[in-house]
Structure 1
């Protein structure tokens, strides 16, 4: 479910070392030159040494959660043969509090019905499935995305196969402007409330927890934006079909 973002203060720090080198033929002897005085190293100052340790996490990230997908087969343990539409349908059926008539994503189920044969593909919330080995077991895993209505957020899911069953190892809902696979990590880019910045959250496979866990959250400058005070949500992208997929290599 959508995770609240903690309040953060952007720390903008720059360390620039300038080395002046004159062009060849201008009397440069090629010798070493001093770069000036070196700043004195200062050890970290520990504040409030008697502060009582916190008894709860800083914010409620759903770290390391997994869920077995019920009712979706994986023929031959080949995750590419699992039907992405059926996978999303299984999640909707398993979480009525989220996708039911009173849930925050209540309009998603009706749109998912448009993903099948004879449906209006333009209304289908399912995005293309991508396949890559994210768990390091030598077999492809599946990364799915689908739009959530009426919030216009995007759900990002990662699935693997364990003991002949399809297992969800990452579930993240957010306002998303981009997703990247890098090695065995999933990087989710989300809009920030400050123009010209964005959040980038990295999820990495943890072999002990057997799940994709939150590993890094960055607040990065992306450049000035002239005509917008906030970054708009991306437009829905229709899945071409239940079998529409691509390999991210």
Structure 2
């Protein structure tokens, strides 16, 4: 278990052949016709620098991508993740690795079960979407961590087991679902910019991978990035939804 951590192609030239008869048949007062747009720019391919450089064979940093984790001790009734309480999932992972979750242990105690879920519960409402393309919904869970960090995780149910297929932590501005992609917007260390990471499912790795990672300008220099929004903790529901949800859908214990 990982600790909290955090081209354009030139348009092809189109040759047009106009028969001479067509030109002769055109009216004397016709001012229309084809005009040359000028020469087409020559395509320039990539130029390799330092071709004799020995390629690296291993990554320097462990980004945590491509890693999965089986969550033990959580029952998924009928294989439907809509019927799973995200708090139960985080508590099961805490029980398996207490040291990793020691900074949010006090908050988990405020998540109810039994009793009403308090405002100090770090586990947010779950979202559901088919992110793997296999026909069943995955569960997206957010967990508030110290220093205004947000942990974003995705869980799937396959082979009779609950499996975590994505784990990301950052100073999150917002999280968006775009089709089968989870887009995480985070505060950048440059004023007027933000980081955007797009996570998509990879069928070979059987996990969500950061398929696109970019820094985007959002305003002039010295423009402070928006901080993480204050989200409300999840609250249990007696009748969980059985269909994919585009809005937060609290799960029933």
TM-score, scaled relative to structure 1: 0.78
* Residues 182 and 199, structure 2, Cα contact 8 Å, conserved in 1: yes
* Residues 117 and 235, structure 2, Cα contact 8 Å, conserved in 1: no
* Greater Cα shift, 50-59 or 116-125: 116-125
Aligned to 1:233: 227
Aligned to 2:245: 247
Which of the two has higher C-alpha Rg?
Answer: 2
Where structure 2 has 5 or more consecutive residues not aligned to the other structure, the ranges are 12-29, 248-253
Aligned to 1:223: 219
Aligned to 1:177: 173
Decide whether aligned partners of structure 1 residues 126 and 223 sit closer, same or farther in structure 2, where only a CA change above 3 A counts.
Answer: same
Decide whether aligned partners of structure 1 residues 74 and 47 sit closer, same or farther in structure 2, where only a CA change above 3 A counts.
Answer: same
Aligned to 1:147: 144
User: How many correspondences in the alignment?
Assistant: 222
Match of 1:90 among 89, 92, 96: 92
Aligned to 1:131: 128
* Residues 115 and 242, structure 1, Cα contact 8 Å, conserved in 2: no
Matched, 1:196 2:198: no
Aligned to 1:121: 118
Aligned to 2:48: 46
Where structure 1 has 5 or more consecutive residues not aligned to the other structure, the ranges are 5-12, 18-27, 101-105
Q: Distance in 2 between matches of 1:58 and 1:222?
A: 30
Q: CA deviation at 1:96?
A: 2.4
TM-score, scaled relative to structure 2: 0.77
Q: Distance in 2 between matches of 1:247 and 1:137?
A: 16
Aligned to 1:111: 107
Report SS of the residue matched to 1:86: helix
Aligned to 1:70: 72
Q: Distance in 2 between matches of 1:236 and 1:170?
A: 22
Decide whether aligned partners of structure 1 residues 76 and 14 sit closer, same or farther in structure 2, where only a CA change above 3 A counts.
Answer: closer
Aligned to 1:159: 155
Decide whether aligned partners of structure 1 residues 37 and 165 sit closer, same or farther in structure 2, where only a CA change above 3 A counts.
Answer: same
Decide whether aligned partners of structure 1 residues 31 and 95 sit closer, same or farther in structure 2, where only a CA change above 3 A counts.
Answer: farther
Q: What value does the CA root-mean-square deviation take over the aligned residues?
A: 2.9
